[in-house]
Each structure stands twice: as structure tokens, then as C-alpha cells.
Amino acid sequence: MKKHLHINDELLISYLLKEVSVAQAREVEEWRAIDTANEHRFEQFRLIWDSSKNFTADPDIDARASLQKVKQRAAMRTKVVPMPNRYNWLKIAATVLLVTGCAWLYFVKHSNSKVEFATQEAVKSDTLSDGSVVTLNKYALLSYPHTFSGAHRNVDLLKGEAFFSVTPNKAQPFIINTGNTTIKVVGTSFNVKNKNGFVEVIVETGIVQVSQGQYNILLKPGEMALIRPNDNKLVKENSPDKLYNYYRSKEFVADNVPLRRMVQVLNEAYSSHIVIERKELNQLPLNTIFKTDDSLDDILKVISHTFKITVEHKNDRIILK
């Protein structure tokens, strides 16, 4: 089998029209068999060619007359060599359809292709095509179109946590899908977390509509919604603190925050396993500000001195007692 075959578009069109010799047909078939990329290209040609059969031309257009005018103009510059085939016009039309069809397929594929914005061990921000800014916490994944089009601006938070600062546009609402929850806004800023099926939405500015199944609620600044797995109930309450914002502000702002809550956020931020051994320690109020670039050991030392408690490292756990 020939390893290097060059098949041009005209030969492929002739092959589809069944006007090739036995040798030419064999050459095309060998070319298709050499590489899957060749077969893929051939199938694209076949798809566009089959679609062209269903194309209905405008009866008011005299295609042959138009073609003749083009030939006459070309003859003023160079000699026209007639093609001895009765399917000349079909070949020209097929070539045009193939070129425009491939261009259309490329446009559809690339003009609104999906972008996957993911983070690992670092927090990152990105600006979407409408000017909205998204900040992803560690180990999060967001999918969105390269360019927003249509009646809505749709994005998918596939996992993790993100803060959205949405550019206002009443004509094209911004919609976030995460799990079975839908969040709809026009222009606002809010935090969304999807962790193990639990969805949390906290609003900083504007109004946010949260939907789950047939239920929906409206959230105002300072309010939050909690959605549990396999539960259509939407629970609205006041956001208890500013700790959710640590990955953007680079600070853990503890304003009369229970120790239990501080431990929960530290475990998330440092991927640690801190446990409170005595229940009476859970509600101890913490009033301080830690920096996210502080080491976990330094933060725990401050907590230990503040509440006069012991910090014990045991295997993979850190025990407060």
C-alpha cells in the first residue's frame, strides 16, 4: 500500500459523483485506509455533499448564465480550458458547498466553544466575554462558552467554589448551573459552593434567584441559601460571617465566630483534619484576623493561647482539647 498519497478536493468530488476510473477509485480507497484522519476528512466531504443534495436553488437564478458571464470575464485575462464533463456545474457547486460548509462547521465549532477553567492548589480569576469576573477557589472547575450568545449567559460550576462579579445586562440574564441547582442573576456579586452535593449561595450585592426543582427563592445582600443533596427544600437564612470570603480577601476575618466554624474553614483552606474533642469548646467566640499566608501551626498557636486549650497532633489528625 502506498504510504504517501495526495488526494485533492477535485478528486474527492469526482469520487462522490462516481466519475472516477477504477484506478482513481482504488487510489482514494487506499488513501482513506492509510490514516483515520484521511477517513475523517472524507466523511466530512460526504456529509457536506449529502447535505448539498437537499439544497433547493432559487428558480429565479440562472446558474448557467451566471457561470457563463464569469467565464467570459475570465477569458479576457486568460484562456479558458473547458472541462469535458457534463457534471462541471455540479463540481463547481459542490466545491463551493464544501468550502462554505467547512467554514460553517469551523465557525460553529470554534465561535462558541466551551472553555474549562480549573484550579488546583492556587486560587485563580478569569474575565468572561461579557466582562464578568469569576474567582475560583482551589480545586474548582467552571465551564463556560468562549462567547456568550442567545437569551442567557449560561455557565456550569462543575465542582468547588467560585465568586462571581456579574456585569449587568437585563436583556441577557446570567445563569449558573451547579448540581441540580440553578442560580439566575442580572448583575450582582455572590459566592457559590458545590461540595459533595451540598450547594451554598451567599449574596454580597444585588438580588439572586436560586431554583431547585419547582421551588425558588430570592436572596438579598447578606442572605444565603443552603441546598442539601436529594432535597428540593430551599433554606434561606442570614449569612453568619465573612469567612467564606477568605480565598479572595486573603484573610480569615473572625468577628465573634464560634471556634467550630473557624475549624471548619481552616480544614477547608489547609486541607487539614482538625477536630474538637470537647463539645464545650465548639461555641467559644473568636475575635481576630488571620492571614491566609500564615502557617496553620501559627494560627493554632494563637487559638491555643487565646482559649488555653491543648493542640495535639495524632497521625493525620489535629486534636483541640
Distance, first Cα to last Cα, the chain: 77
Does 51 or 247 have the greater pLDDT score?
247
Q: Is 3 within the bounds of a domain?
A: no
216, 238, 260 — which closes off a domain? 238
Q: How confident is the model at residue 9 (pLDDT cuts 50, 70, 90)?
A: confident
Query: For residue 121, what is the domain's CATH number?
Result: 2.60.120.1440
25 Cβ contact list (under 8 Å, min separation 6): 15
pLDDT of 157 = 95
Q: Is 1 within the bounds of a domain?
A: no
Q: How confident is the model at residue 52 (pLDDT cuts 50, 70, 90)?
A: low
pLDDT of 7 = 76
- Note whether 147 and 203 are same-domain residues: yes
Query: Which segments of the chain are extended strands (E)?
Result: 114-118, 124-127, 133-136, 141-145, 153-165, 174-178, 181-185, 189-195, 198-205, 208-212, 215-219, 223-227, 235-238, 251-258, 274-276, 285-291, 311-314, 317-320
60, 93, 111 — which closes off a domain? 111
Whether the predicted pLDDT of 4 surpasses 60: no
pLDDT of 80 = 41
Q: How confident is the model at residue 43 (pLDDT cuts 50, 70, 90)?
A: confident
Whether the predicted pLDDT of 226 surpasses 70: yes
- Note whether 227 and 119 are same-domain residues: yes
Q: Which of 30-34, 99-103, 133-137, 235-239 has the highest mean pLDDT?
A: 133-137
Q: Is 259 within the bounds of a domain?
A: yes
pLDDT of 82 = 47
Query: For residue 293, what is the domain's CATH number?
Result: 3.55.50.30
- How many separate domains does the chain show? 3
- Note whether 121 and 223 are same-domain residues: yes
Whether the predicted pLDDT of 145 surpasses 60: yes
Does 189 or 88 have the greater pLDDT score?
189
Reported as a single tens digit per residue, the pLDDT across 262-283 is 999 999 999 999 999 988 999 9
Beta strand 274-276 with 317-320: parallel, antiparallel or unpaired? parallel
Mean pLDDT of 247-275: 94
Q: What is the spatial distance between Cα 316 and Cα 271, in angstroms, rounded to a whole number?
A: 11
Determine contact, residues 259/307, Cβ cutoff 8 Å.
yes
List C-alpha distances in Å: 176 to 34, 69, 144, 164, 193.
45, 55, 10, 10, 11
- Note whether 312 and 277 are same-domain residues: yes
pLDDT of 55 = 47
- Note whether 210 and 284 are same-domain residues: no
CA angle 196, 197, 203 (to 5 degrees): 105
Q: What is the spatial distance between Cα 180 and Cα 211, in angstroms, rounded to a whole number?
A: 9
Q: Is 4 within the bounds of a domain?
A: no
49, 84, 111 — which closes off a domain? 111
pLDDT of 38 = 79
- Note whether 129 and 230 are same-domain residues: yes
242 Cβ contact list (under 8 Å, min separation 6): 249, 253, 255
Percent of the chain surpassing pLDDT 70: 78
Lowest mean pLDDT among 10-24, 43-57, 248-262: 43-57
Closest CA to 293 of 249, 262, 261: 249
Q: Which set of grid coordinates corresponds to residue 280?
A: 464545650
Determine contact, residues 244/255, Cβ cutoff 8 Å.
no
Does 80 or 175 have the greater pLDDT score?
175
Mean pLDDT of 220-235: 86
- Note whether 256 and 302 are same-domain residues: yes
Output the average pLDDT for the chain: 81
Lowest mean pLDDT among 79-88, 119-128, 182-191: 79-88
Q: How many CA atoms lie within 13 A of 239 on its CB side?
A: 22
pLDDT of 19 = 77
Q: Is 267 within the bounds of a domain?
A: yes
According to the 3-state scheme, what is the secondary structure of 152-176?
Answer: CEEEEEEEEEEEEECCCCCCCCEEE
- Note whether 127 and 15 are same-domain residues: no
Mean pLDDT of 192-200: 90
Domain span at 290: 243-320
pLDDT of 77 = 46
Whether the predicted pLDDT of 219 surpasses 80: yes
Q: Is 79 within the bounds of a domain?
A: yes
Q: Is 293 within the bounds of a domain?
A: yes
pLDDT of 306 = 92
Q: Is 145 within the bounds of a domain?
A: yes
Q: How confident is the model at residue 139 (pLDDT cuts 50, 70, 90)?
A: very high
- Note whether 166 and 282 are same-domain residues: no
pLDDT of 312 = 92
- Note whether 71 and 31 are same-domain residues: yes
- Note whether 247 and 232 are same-domain residues: no
Closest CA to 9 of 105, 103, 107, 94: 94
- Note whether 226 and 124 are same-domain residues: yes
Q: How confident is the model at residue 83 (pLDDT cuts 50, 70, 90)?
A: very low
